């Protein structure tokens, strides 16, 4: 059995109205995608599908965490993820130019949602992997690295050329 088959949503025979689904995206899910930027994760996708005559409106929320290294202090962190997306699926042939619109063949029985979930999970990861951990009881920060960064910021020389260029800035 194809692993991603469990992430398919049956659309043939689905009654009009709102339908809820929940998917778990964990380590095994991301192993099925070559060169995935996410190795490990514990994400829950809550998906609300509103079926209309020739249209599916899908709202999904991705919540959980991804174990990674902090880009600021290099400590191992649990990067929190909480993102929402809206997707429209239209019954039509061909491909759509709009990234938020997916065409589904009129004779299709199900919507293979595995790759879409993967794409949205990858989009949920911020480019800079860090978060405000000051509210945590035990922040995971590498204090030695942070002290070094603060020391370097204090001793950084000011370049007078930049001050002159700032004067040229017009309002």
**Which residue would you say has higher pLDDT here, 130 or 50?**
50
Q: Which residues pair with 68 in a beta bridge?
A: 77
Lowest-confidence pick of 5-14, 103-112, 113-122, 151-160: 151-160
Name every residue whose Cβ is closer than 8 Å to that of residue 5 and which is 6 or more positions away in sequence.
Answer: 114
Tally of CB atoms within 10 A around 167: 6
* Three-class SS state of 88: strand
> What are 154's two structure tokens?
């204090």
Contact (Cβ atoms closer than 8 angstroms) between residue 79 and residue 63: no
Contact (Cβ atoms closer than 8 angstroms) between residue 23 and residue 116: no
> What are 149's two structure tokens?
């960064």
Q: Encode pLDDT of 12-61 as tens digits.
A: 888 999 999 999 999 999 999 999 999 999 999 999 999 988 889 999 99
Would you give the DSSP letter of residue 4?
Answer: G
d(CA 61, CA 42): 14
Would you give the DSSP letter of residue 54?
Answer: S
Q: Encode pLDDT of 60-110 as tens digits.
A: 999 999 999 888 888 888 999 999 999 999 988 887 788 888 888 888 889
> What are 166's two structure tokens?
């700032």
Domain ranges of the chain: 3-168
Name every residue whose Cβ is closer than 8 Å to that of residue 126 and which is 6 or more positions away in sequence.
Answer: 79
Please state the pTM of the whole predicted model. 0.80
């Amino acid at each position: 059995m194809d692993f991603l088959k469990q992430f398919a949503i049956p659309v043939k025979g689905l009654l009009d109205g709102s339908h809820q689904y929940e998917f778990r995206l964990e380590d095994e899910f991301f192993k099925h995608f070559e060169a995935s930027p996410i190795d490990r994760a514990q994400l829950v996708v809550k998906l609300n599908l509103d079926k209309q005559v020739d249209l599916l409106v899908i709202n999904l929320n991705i919540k959980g965490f991804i174990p990674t290294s902090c880009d600021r202090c290099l400590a191992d962190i649990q990067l929190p993820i909480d993102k929402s997306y809206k997707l429209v699926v239209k019954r039509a042939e061909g491909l759509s130019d709009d990234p938020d619109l997916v065409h589904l063949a009129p004779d299709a029985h199900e919507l293979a949602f595995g790759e879409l979930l993967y794409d949205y999970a990858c989009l949920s990861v911020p480019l800079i992997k860090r978060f405000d951990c000051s509210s945590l009881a035990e922040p995971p920060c590498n204090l030695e690295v942070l002290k070094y960064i603060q020391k370097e910021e204090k001793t950084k020389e000011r370049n007078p050329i930049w001050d002159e260029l700032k004067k040229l800035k017009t309002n």
